[in-house]
Amino acid sequence: MISKEKRLGLRTWVEIDTQALKHNLNIFRSLVKPECKIMAVVKSNAYGHGLVDYSRVIEKMGIDYFGVDSVVEGVALRKAGIKKPILVLGYTLPEMVTRAQANDLDLAVSSFDSLKSILALPLKKPVKIHIKVDTGMHRQGFSLKDSKVLMAKLTANKRKIIVEGLFTHFARAKNPAFPSYTLKQIEIFNQWRGILKNNGFAPICHASASAGAILFPQAQFDMVRIGAGLYGIWPAEETKAYSIDKFQLKPILSWRTILSEVKKVPQGSQISYDGTEAVVRDSILGICPIGYWHGYARALSSIGKILVKGKRAKVLGRVCMDMIIVDLTDIPKAKVGDVVTLIGKDGKEEMSLEELARLADQSTYEFIDRLNPLMERIYG
């Protein structure tokens, strides 16, 4: 927990543990072969951790590549001084290609329409692209039946495009009990690798995200793309159960706020909007100045839990846009200004992201990505 001086003037803040981040990076370095590069996936505001600051920290730790969703994110990193290669994983509008070039960004190309739009531009230098192939996710990517036409177009346009990479995405790599679908995807990807090699291309090949890097060492290829794992988030409970005896990932994010008001109400008092919950005893209520605008899901109304003075307290009634109400009756010494932990540890107690997401009926990815980017991220 950071010092009061570092959070002066803040009603809510996010803490990032850089030592935990270093630990997680070292775990993945130990999992992959020495020549395998690691891409830090920092899309969606670095999964809620803060795009620029997180990228600066992990670049200093020796990360090899960055993965973003859009040219806008890539440009933000270049403006922040990030030097390592950056791949735009998402769709790039034709009018953004020259901006991508000006900022030395690699672009994902996953369809003939996208390739055609790039080739039609009056570019002064070739565009660096990573070819996305569909091996079974059926989201983005070229199919094997497209390979002959694709190779012809790539070969004919070597002055306009540089095939920097070849990649795919696994659809079911999180559960080690059912590997067959992923193994089939690996097989198809290997066919693609052979096709590009036979046509004179030598791209950086990458297929695995966090779960794939942990469970399928044969799919490391030239690079792995690690998002959740570096943040200390397990891709799935099945991945965690398989790996927990071998190594542990450390969550790098904690989210905290304060008690802004403490008050007493009599038994039977109805709490928050619509009076959906009534207290069953004379109670002490605490108000916290955060709500669903900050990313505390409205689905946590009447079921969420927070930590105060190392003890759990229940969210009462509806989660509001900018406030929640919590039951402090069993924590009578709690007072205005006390730190409240929404995600993270307080003493021996912990409110994990996994537990909070489960209570909200969300995935961990969904919950963490929705943390408001305007909240201060404090690295320590």
For the annotated catalytic residues, the residue numbers are: 43, 273
Inter-residue contact 353 to 368 (CB < 8 Å):
yes
Alpha carbon of residue 152 to chain centroid: 36
HSE-up of residue 13 (Cα within 13 Å, Cβ side): 20
Q: How far is 157 from 359, CA to CA, in rounded Å?
A: 52
Amino acid at 126: P
Q: How far is 88 from 329, CA to CA, in rounded Å?
A: 50
HSE-up of residue 236 (Cα within 13 Å, Cβ side): 15
Nearest alpha-carbon partner for 254 in 356, 362, 352: 352
Q: How far is 261 from 203, CA to CA, in rounded Å?
A: 58
HSE-up of residue 171 (Cα within 13 Å, Cβ side): 12
For residue 54, what are its two tokens? 């997180």
Q: How far is 154 from 162, CA to CA, in rounded Å?
A: 9
Q: How far is 247 from 101, CA to CA, in rounded Å?
A: 40
- What 3 state SS string does 96-147 have? HHHHHHHCCEEEEECCHHHHHHHHCCCCCCCEEEEEEECCCCCCCCECHHHH
Beta-bridge mates of residue 226: 40
Q: Is 380 helix (H, G, I), strand (E, B) or coil?
A: coil
Amino acid at 252: I
3-state helix, strand, coil in the chain (%, to 5): 35, 25, 40
The dihedral over CA atoms of 337, 2, 255, 261, expressed in degrees to the nearest 10, equals: 0
